[in-house]
Amino acid sequence: LLELGVAVGFIFGTYFLAKFKSHGYFWFMLGNIAAASLMMKQGYYLLMTQQLFSFCIVLDAYFVRKKKLGEKKAGRSDINIDYGN
């Protein structure tokens, strides 16, 4: 079940981010948590820690994107984001 969570999380995360959908970040976080859980279950604590760091990076990327989109919607002209829309 954890292997399925890893695969689905990374596949859907990649797909949705390629389509400029911000919920792709949540799928990536699911993949990171599932991978960290799997590594912990197998006793690979260093790899588990790496997955948790990766989770934090994805979470930070989500908040950065959310902030930039909020500033773009507020009409700030100094932000140039092209999401292909």
Region for 65 from its dihedrals, namely left if φ exceeds 0, alpha if ψ lies in -120 to 50, beta otherwise:
alpha
Task: Give the separation between CA 8 and CA 81, rounded to whole angstroms.
Answer: 28
- Quote the pLDDT of residue 75: 57
pLDDT given at position 66: 87
CA 38 to each of CA 5, 7, 27, 82: distance values in angstroms, whole numbers, following the listed order:
10, 12, 16, 37
Q: What is the pLDDT along the chain (85 residues), one digit of tens a residue?
A: 888 989 999 999 999 989 888 889 999 999 999 999 999 999 999 999 999 999 999 999 999 988 888 766 655 555 555 666 5
Per-residue pLDDT, 79: 52
pLDDT value of residue 1: 81
Structure tokens at 69: 């989109």
Return the pLDDT at 21.
Answer: 86
Residue 25's pLDDT is: 93
What confidence score (pLDDT) does residue 38 get?
94
